[in-house]
Amino acid sequence: MLDWLGLPVPASAHAREVDQIMSLVHWLMLVLLVGWGVFFVYVLVRFRRSRQPLASYHGVKARWASWVEGGVLAAVVALLVILSIPLWSARVDALPPERGSTVVRVVAEQFAWNVHYPGADRVFGRTHISLVNPDNPLGLDRHDPAGRDDITTINRLNLPVGRPVIVYLSSKDVVHSLGLPQMRIKQDATPGVVQPVWFTPTRTGEWDIACSQLCGLGHYRMRGVYSIQPQAQFDAWLAREATLLSQ
């Protein structure tokens, strides 16, 4: 029932719930489109000039018109109150505990995604704007003890499958938007704000990170890759990056 929209593969724990709402909204819109379309054609024929030479200024008096309006209103309110608001609050009210989750910072800039892993100590090193340069786009302080083992990448977000991921999302310049279609995640990255986003990947695979806000002339090339990997593969990658750091 959910595949008729042609959505990307659902690869996170909450993906199907989002799809369900999208599907219901589309069904409602389809019913409205066809319903109003048929009614419009009926009105054109029924009130054509040859049959109705004099205009009526009183409008429709029939009861059924109000019932139809009321029905549409009830369907929209039901979608919002029964489905959308509970799903939204489940997504944003509380984060999963950091212990047991993969925690990562993503800092957007024109036109790249900077990714920051806390390393083996699970603590992010200090970052400061004065340290930002082309070789250190995150401004990470490697002299900070917590920052020595931190791993950074550009346009590559590797994550393990099967446990929650918390992304602390921010931006260095303008408003960008982290779009992970297969995770059913889309969140604006706003300068000056650190916005947490979380999801639980349920499927391995490699897909595009899309910037979903028109963020400047190079917006079209602000493309990254995210890869959902088995835990062992992810751990091996982190270990490899850690060895590269110590060389």
Which residues of the chain form contacts with Cu ion (CB under 5 A)?
176, 211, 215, 222
Q: What is the nearest approach in angstroms of Cu ion to the Cβ of residue 157? A: 15
Residue-wise over 61-90: b if at least 16 C-beta within 10 A, else e? Answer: eeeeeeeeeeeeeebeeeeeeeeeeeeeee
Q: What is the nearest approach in angstroms of Cu ion to the Cβ of residue 186? A: 12
Q: What is the nearest approach in angstroms of Cu ion to the Cβ of residue 177? A: 7
Q: How many residues does the chain have?
A: 247
Q: Which is nearer to Cu ion, 43 or 154 (CB)?
A: 154
Q: Which is nearer to Cu ion, 126 or 223 (CB)?
A: 223
Q: Which is nearer to Cu ion, 161 or 211 (CB)?
A: 211
Q: Which is nearer to Cu ion, 161 or 215 (CB)?
A: 215
Q: What is the nearest approach in angstroms of Cu ion to the Cβ of residue 224? A: 10
Q: Which is nearer to Cu ion, 8 or 191 (CB)?
A: 191
Q: What is the nearest approach in angstroms of Cu ion to the Cβ of residue 18? A: 22
Q: What is the nearest approach in angstroms of Cu ion to the Cβ of residue 168? A: 17
Q: Which is nearer to Cu ion, 161 or 183 (CB)?
A: 183
Rounded Cα–Cα distance for residues 138 and 126 (Å): 10
Q: Which is nearer to Cu ion, 28 or 175 (CB)?
A: 175
Q: Which two tokens stand for residue 18?
A: 């989002």
Q: What is the nearest approach in angstroms of Cu ion to the Cβ of residue 198? A: 21
